[in-house]
Amino acid sequence: MPHAKLTVSIPESLWIHGVSTTHPDVTFRVSSVLPGSDAVVGVLELAASNPIPVLADIDGRDDVRELELLWKHDETALLQVETSNPSLITPMQQAGVPMETPFEVEDGTVSWELTTSADRLSALGESLDESGIGYDIEYVHSTNSSRGTQLLTDRQLEVFLTAIDSGYYDVPREATLTDVASTLGISKSTCSDVLHRAEGAIAHWFAAEYVD
């Protein structure tokens, strides 16, 4: 069963394309998605020096039915968006490929990591082609290969190694979570979540390999 990473070009008709290209320095991190036949509801975090203009831009898009600000602190905002255009999600539904979260949107592109069958991955490519949605395959790994090479995603590995290099795991600790996030240029909450997932993957791997 393959594990793949795709970088997908978001159709220009979608609000997230317009907003992310208007604000190319802002990263949108989608934590959950509820697709429907004629709408999509998503919860996402945005990190920006001033989130207010970004929120106003989202609220002004024609295909945004509802925008709810769930939480805001300094440069980070958590929001729920309902959109009337599900065209980006439709190819995944047609191919029967489960959507893995979280994923990130930056400057008109979205990065998806997928674990599915070879047939469904091929069907997803065909659905994207038929929909006129451009994409690049960053990699395809087999989950049958060594678990050591499949343990962490590229993002998780980057954050984990940065935490080690910064001294986050030293005793006494040489760097805080804020320090690690600052080095990576991401929000503290994003850093915490990615690092927690990496630590969880490593812990489960260790338990499976070495604990009876």
% of the chain exceeding 90 in pLDDT: 60
Q: Mean of the pLDDT values across residues 101-130?
A: 91
CA-CA-CA-CA torsion for 12, 17, 9, 130, nearest 10 degrees?
A: -40
At a CB cut-off of 8 Å and minimum separation 6, what does 73 contact?
none
pTM for the full predicted model:
0.64
At a CB cut-off of 8 Å and minimum separation 6, what does 117 contact?
1, 2
At a CB cut-off of 8 Å and minimum separation 6, what does 70 contact?
43, 78, 79, 80
Q: Mean of the pLDDT values across residues 79-101?
A: 93
Tokens of 79: 């929001």
Q: Mean of the pLDDT values across residues 19-24?
A: 95
Pair 21, 108: CB distance under 8 Å: yes
Q: What is the pLDDT of residues 169-200, one digit of tens each?
A: 998 889 999 999 999 999 999 999 999 888 88
Q: What is the pLDDT of residues 70-85, one digit of tens each?
A: 998 888 899 999 999 9
Q: Mean of the pLDDT values across residues 126-130?
A: 92
pLDDT class for 145, splitting at 50, 70, 90?
A: very low
* 3-state helix/strand/coil string of the chain: CEEEEEEEECCCCCHHHHHHHHCCCCEEEEEEEEECCCCEEEEEEEECCCHHHHHHHHHCCCCEEEEEEEEEECCEEEEEEEECCCCCCHHHHHHCCCCCCCEEEECCEEEEEEECCHHHHHHHHHHHHHCCCCEEEEEEEECCCCHHHHCCCHHHHHHHHHHHHHCCCCCCCCCCHHHHHHHHCCCHHHHHHHHHHHHHHHHHHHHHHHCC
